[in-house]
Chains A and B, each alone.
Chain A
Amino acid sequence: MPLDSKIPSGPMAEKWSKHKQDSKLINPKNKRKYTVLVVGSGLAGSSAAATLAELGYQVKCFCFQDSPRRAHSIAAQGGINAAKNYQNDGDSVHRLFYDTVKGGDFRAREANVHRLAEESINIIDQCAAQGVPFAREYGGGLANRSFGGAQVSRTFYARGQTGQQLLLGAYSALNKEIARGSVKMYPRTEMLDVVVVDGHAKGIITRDLVTGKIESHAGDTVLLCSGGYGNVFYLSTNAMGCNVTATWRAHRKGAYFANPCYTQIHPTCIPVSGDYQSKLTLMSESLRNDGRVWAPKNAADCGKAPHEIPEEARDYYLERKYPSFGNLAPRDISSRAAKEVCDEGRGVGPGGRGVYLDFAESIQQFSQKTIAERYGNLFDMYERITGESAYKQPMRIYPAVHYTMGGLWVDYNLMSNLPGLHVLGEANFSDHGANRLGASALMQGLADGYFVIPTTIAPYLVTQSPGSVTTSHPEFKKALEEAHARTSRLLNIKGKRSVDSFHRELGLLVWDKCGMARDRAGLTEALQRIPELREEFWNNVTVPGSGEAANPELEKAGRVADFMEFAELLCLDALNREESCGGHFRTEHQYPDGEAKRDDENYSYAAAWEYTGDLANPILNKEQLTFEEVHLAVRSYK
């Protein structure tokens, strides 16, 4: 099927205003006849649910956590970008747009990114008006900090917990609408499937995680705001519950999954300490404003305490390799540089997988008090986890899976190729290309929810007669039966291995073969082993307890079963893409100095995979990327 991205015509800077002007409207009286189902309550889900309810739509919102405030957007630390140019340092919508397209290694859709940069300004206004306590200057105006991949200071922040504060803002807007009766909230409720009626997404199947009850919900459109798939690697900075189920189930029902191989590895995380490890903890990228990254020049020094290694024996490799961006080089580049250093045997800490992030110079320059004011909570967190104080010795850091740029394919209206299915935030593929810049995830989630979908949902809904499909339709009955059957199948395998043991094995395999660096041999091997592991899972997993009550093991089993299928597509996509770009680094494709080598002639497209029923043979659909504004170039941060 040809992919129509529905990019509006006209000059780049006018596309979005023109599109808003041309979009059909629904009158207020008719809006309340439409029901919108929102899956997920993070920044994208909460902001969309609240805003659509304000407009008059009937909204049902679902989250698996016990409160919408706990969605994983809460954990974002560093900040949110906006082209406000409050610093008078030359920032503009165009510059934010340009930085984001370049940061994404020229694999994003220009028109979407430009819209994102335009809306960034409105997001800050909206959040400030909600009472989000952004950091401020003494004069009362908003403060900014710098982030990776940019030479202007455009990041707004709330101490080290910008995600929590923005989510609490969106959650408060959601609460306002719940109180008004315009949003019905379903916490502790997980989506198990999408229901498709006559080729349109018209409902979902859910499981109540307290009672175990499996139910149907019908609506006029479905919004998936269910986040990314980073937990396919088992160890990641994602919350334990983050999963691919909502998007994967939609994929199985016809929605194309785009660019799954674009996974972001965050350079500054606390290294793995043992095999009991359940997750990895991020140390905000903002630390790189004041910390210097280094490793010993000589492998022989790795066992020494850091203070015993003299200045001349230290390799500040980011400053050396990327003099103009230095420690603020983008995430993919910084991560790979750390891996190279460790591969050369110059890593520090347990297993030699770590480099230093050193604050000694900044503490000397500004005082420990100033550093504590900026990053105190991060230093405390580091000490709780490692038992070491970063005021006294450098932090040990290593890259970890953090964010996924790939996701369900959407057009300019954020609608997937499956009509009626809209996808927002990290769950879609649209804005970050092959690599996301720091402080841009919060921006995208809120832009999609507050400002894009409220406009772009109408063109679909006007074509639909509201409430025309109800849960009495046979497709709902069928989907409900399938969900029941799958649950009882999982409960009745009664094998020997726990769900976690399978998840861990899958994660290690995918990290090893499809992590920071990938090659044909490794991916081919993974593609052979994943189906074997999946088969063992379905024959040998054990899920204790019953389906008729709270059962966390059953929840995990369903999610891991979907990761087992998704992992294969991830590796297939990585194998197909014979180039290196952003978060996707194929060792066969690099310049002599180790930099990623893109192939614009052959791979300047978004790979949108179509489910065929045969997991090993999905159909590849291509959306060719065209660049009108940004000149394609080798992405250099030197």
Chain B
Amino acid sequence: MSLLNLQLKVWRQNKGQTGRFQDIEARDIPDHASFLEMMDIVNERLIQKGEEPVAFDHDCREGICGMCSMTINGMPHGPEKATTTCQLHMRKFRTGDTIWIEPFRARAFPVIKDLMVDRSAFDRIQQAGGFVTVRTGSAPDANSILIGKDIADAAMDAAACIGCGACVAACKNASAMLFVSAKAGQLNSLPQGQPEKTKRTLGMVRQMDKEGFGNCTNQYECEAACPKEISVRWITKLNRDYAVATVHEAFGGGVERSEGGE
């Protein structure tokens, strides 16, 4: 194990105020430590000096809860492919490096404090249709719904999204299309999700627009930044599902009614 000396430029901001970068020297950081453990060491030293530690979101520290959210050297979750900030380790840096640490930036993700942002827009998008309406206790036997392994695997690929928001932070337009397409795509691919497909697609896309996320211009920074490697092909599928859904909506939901009105 070796020790690193680093120069940090850390974003400091209080809610509702303007922020700035603070220079913090981080000396003797073990290279086996994770990035967040490096931040713990820095915070411990700030506390010892009587200063306020840097606030950042984190919880599971094993890359699955999606709570950690730093932009490191301009890249959400830092330079490692398919890795959340909490799983990034200091052995990927060299002594003498300058590291810029910022929050995930997007109009729809307001800063709460320092590196913590408010991502509740993601919850509201899912409340707008990201579910299958099935009452507890009303489900048929699980094996009565047969799903081909290829379809189940594809749905699982989409379901791997941890809702961290790196896709939004990586996008110059702060578009949430990769997130929304993964969430809608999982359910829209499965037989269980078919009855509510139109409603779900329209609801989630419209909520996304309402939250102030930008439009997708197919640059794919989102896919490159995604710690779970969600494919942009889900965006293609969402665009297709959305086009079909708007047509359905325009023509009365596409449901033939017994009164013959349509």
Residues on A lying within 8 angstroms of B by beta carbon are 47, 50-51, 54, 65-70, 72, 74-75, 84, 86, 122, 124-131, 133-142, 158-159, 161, 163-165, 168, 171-173, 175-176, 178-179, 185, 187, 210, 237, 239-241, 273-274, 276-279, 281-282, 380-381, 384-385, 387, 450-451, 454, 498, 500-501, 542, 544-545, 549-553
Contact = CB atoms under 8 A, between A and B. Distances in A.
A384 B155 CA distance: 26
A172 B126 contact: yes
Contacts of A279: 61-62
B55 A498 contact: no
Given A125-B141, A553-B47, A176 B61 contact: no
B79 interface: no
Interface stretch (B34-42, B170-178, B250-258): B34-42
Interface stretch (B132-140, B216-224, B230-238, B239-247): B132-140
Contact of B146 (A86, A140, A165): A140
A65 B186 CA distance: 24
A130 B132 contact: yes
A126 B128 CA distance: 21
Interface in B99-157: 112-113, 116, 118-120, 122-123, 126-128, 130-143, 145-149, 152, 155-156
B127 A75 contact: no
Nearest to B138: A129
Given A131-B187, A133-B159, A550-B116, A240 B58 contact: yes
A545 B52 contact: yes
A498 B58 contact: no
Nearest to A238: B60
5 contacts: A138-B149, A172-B131, A176-B131, A178-B127, A274-B32
A70 B32 contact: no
B76 interface: no
Interface of B: 1, 14-15, 30, 32-34, 36-37, 40-41, 44, 47-48, 50-53, 55, 57-67, 80, 82-83, 87-89, 91, 112-113, 116, 118-120, 122-123, 126-128, 130-143, 145-149, 152, 155-156, 159-160, 162-163, 186-187, 190, 192-193
A451 B139 CA distance: 13
B123 A131 contact: no
A67 B122 contact: yes
B64 A75 contact: yes
Contacts of A135: 152, 156
Given A54-B136, A75-B64, A128-B145, A175 B130 contact: yes
A273 B127 contact: no
Contact of A381 (B63, B80, B130): B63
B67 A65 contact: yes
B60 A172 contact: no
A274 B30 contact: yes
Contacts of B152: 133-136, 140
Contact of A67 (B34, B120, B138, B192): B120
Label chain B's interface by main secondary structure: loop
B91 to A, nearest CB: 6
A266 to B, nearest CB: 13
Contacts of B187: 131
B142 A142 contact: yes
Contacts of B118: 66, 210
A84 B83 CA distance: 36
A431 B76 CA distance: 42
A56 B159 CA distance: 30
Contact of A84 (B59, B65, B113, B142): B142
A74 to B, nearest CB: 5
Which of A128, A133, A140 counts the most B-chain CB atoms under 10 A from its CB?
A: A133
A240 B140 contact: no
Contacts of B47: 498, 542, 544, 553
B37 A276 contact: yes
Given A381-B62, A550-B15, 7 more contacts: A70-B60, A126-B136, A130-B132, A274-B1, A278-B34, A387-B91, A500-B44
Contact of A74 (B60, B112, B128, B143): B60
B143 A126 contact: no
Contacts of A50: 136
A395 to B, nearest CB: 15
Contact of B142 (A65, A68, A125): A125
B150 to A, nearest CB: 9
A239 B53 CA distance: 20
Contact of B37 (A126, A130, A277, A553): A277
Contacts of B34: 278, 385
A240 B137 CA distance: 34
A135 B155 CA distance: 10
Nearest to B47: A498
A77 to B, nearest CB: 9
Contacts of A66: 57, 67, 118-120
A175 B131 CA distance: 7
A86 B112 CA distance: 49
A175 B123 contact: yes
Contacts of B52: 544-545
Contact of A451 (B14, B58, B66, B137): B137
A128 B122 CA distance: 23
A454 B135 CA distance: 12
